[in-house]
Amino acid sequence: MHKNKGPVYYGDYLQLPKLLDSQLPLSRKYADSTNGECHDEMLFIVVHQVYELWFKQIIHDLDSVLSVFKKTYIPEVELSSIVQKLERIQKIQGLLIGQFDVLETMTPMDFLEFRDLLIPASGFQSVQFREIEIKLGLHTNDRLDVDREFFMGRLDEKDRAHLTQVEKSPTILKCLEGWLERIPYTNMEGFNFWSEYQKSINDILKDDQDIIETNSAHLSDRQKQIQLENLKLTRETFSSLFDETKHKDLIEKNQRKLSQKAILNALFILLYRHESMLALPFQVITGLMNIDENFTTWRYRHALLAQRMLGTKIGTGGSSGHQYLKRAADNNRVFLDLFNLSTFLIPNSRLPKLPVEVKKKMSFHV
């Protein structure tokens, strides 16, 4: 525990003179007798500065998560710390999304009074947000519809060098993959969970086919054919879980990111989340999904704000404005593999029964 060695003054500790003197509207600089300072430019600056402060805290927490996730063995207490940091990031994201409500008190015409002063500055140049995306697992080369040169070319040399260095470090996505691959419960001596799971899936799909066949009298030939084709696609989707060749093909097509073993073990965690030893791993997975979802929501709100303020005008950074932001929200997901695991969930009543020895290893025993 650190102890104070002298008096501390509130404003000095928070460096408030420096902080509160950093809002410098450009319209004030160019104000004259005809056009004075644009009142709402102060709001625009404050909101974006607050964004950057919260981005700084998110990076601080992500670095803490990464420092633990990089380890080849993660004790229970440290896993709990990861969950706590992920929960904090989610709370911060709620504040980030809520700030759009404040920005939207500014009318489009109020924004247009100072908008041209911002060119060519753009959200593209938020180095901290780019760093958050990279640390999560979205490298510049992974972005859809954006050429790396176009993307990095909006930054000065110092910021480009910084992000290039960040891209060389392990990401949450990659660390998650390694951690999931080490989950030990799915293939223990005398028990192969996945062979039992596949039996359950085959039984479920057989039941589905029987239902289609039984109700054929109430279906047209075309309707029956469509349902059978959908059932065939479902079988193929399930088979991709266990077919290494199909899995690698999906990775090459950028339809999956995690290794086959990591995806299978993540699915096991979701299926048996009620077991004591899987409670925290389940919270890690859901926390990362929530963070991904929140940033997607944040991007959508950003896209809607751009449309509200600019309509179909080009953004200050030269992008297509609203259309680019909307595509970014749709395409730049990090943990899509985790979301897609819902495809492979089955009812609790159809779950394979775990052997007693396996259940003991997944519970806390004195």
User: Which residues are annotated binding-site positions for substrate?
Assistant: 44-48, 115, 316
State the CB neighbour count (10 A cutoff) for residue 364.
Answer: 7
Q: Which residues are annotated as a binding site for heme?
A: 302
Q: How many CA atoms lie within 13 A of 21 on its CB side?
A: 6
State the CB neighbour count (10 A cutoff) for residue 253.
Answer: 8
Strand partners, 191: 188
Q: Which residues are annotated as a binding site?
A: 44-48, 115, 302, 316
Per DSSP, 314 falls in state P
Best CA proximity match to 306, nearest among 320, 296, 292? 320
d(C-alpha 35, C-alpha 25), whole Å: 13
192 phi and psi, to 5 degrees?
-115, 105
d(C-alpha 188, C-alpha 169), whole Å: 33
d(C-alpha 322, C-alpha 306), whole Å: 5
Query: Residue 209 is encoded by which pair of tokens?
Result: 């086919």
